[in-house]
Chain A
Amino acid sequence: MTILEAAAQLRARQVSSRELTVQCLKRALRANQKLNAFMALMEEHALERAALADDELARGIDRGPFHGIPVAYKDLFYTRGVRTTAGSKVFANFVPAFDGAVVEKLDAAGAVNLGKLGMHELAYGVTSNNPHYGPVRNPWNTERIPGGSSGGSGAAVAAGLAFMAMGSDTGGSIRIPAAYCGTVGIKATFGRVSRFGCLPLSYDLDHVGPLNASVRDAAITLNAIGGYDPRDANSSRAPMTDFLPPAGVSIAGLRIGLPENFYFERVEPPVREAVQRAARHAEALGAHVVPLRVPDPAALTALGRVILLAEASALYERHWNNRHLFGPDVLTLIDQGRFIRATDYLQAQRVRRILQQEWDTLWNKVDCLFTPTTPVTAPPIGADSLTIEGVEDDVRLSATRLVRGINVLGLPALAMPLGLAPDGLPMSLHIIGPAWQEDRILRVGAALEDTTDWHHARPPEV
Chain B
Amino acid sequence: MRDWKTAALALNSGIPEEALDGIGKPLDALEAAFEPLKKLIHPEDEPALQFVLDHHREGGE
Contacts and interface: CB of A to CB of B under 8 A. Distances in A.
Interface residues of B, number: 27
A171 to B, nearest CB: 14
B49 to A, nearest CB: 5
Interface string B22-34: 1100110010011
B4 A348 contact: no
A339 B48 contact: no
A12 interface: no
B15 A302 contact: no
A321 B27 contact: no
A339 B7 contact: yes
A14 interface: no
B40 A351 contact: yes
**By DSSP majority rule, is chain A's interface helix, strand, loop, or mixed?**
helix
A336 interface: yes
Nearest to A234: B50
Interface string A302-314: 1101100100000
Nearest to B13: A338
A283 interface: no
Contacts of B15: 335, 338
A34 interface: no
Contact of B22 (A321, A332, A338, A354): A332
A339 B4 CA distance: 8
B38 interface: yes
Nearest to B36: A299
Contacts of B22: 332, 335
Contacts of A303: 34, 37
B23 A302 contact: no
Contacts of A354: 40-41, 45
B26 A331 contact: no
B14 interface: yes
A356 B20 CA distance: 34
B46 interface: yes
B47 interface: yes
Contact of B19 (A331, A351, A352): A331
A92 interface: no
A249 interface: no
Given A204-B49, A348-B34, 20 more contacts: A234-B50, A299-B37, A331-B19, A332-B19, A332-B23, A335-B19, A335-B20, A336-B27, A338-B11, A339-B27, A346-B47, A346-B49, A349-B48, A350-B45, A351-B40, A351-B41, A351-B45, A352-B48, A353-B45, A354-B40
7 contacts: A301-B33, A303-B37, A339-B8, A346-B49, A349-B47, A349-B49, A353-B46
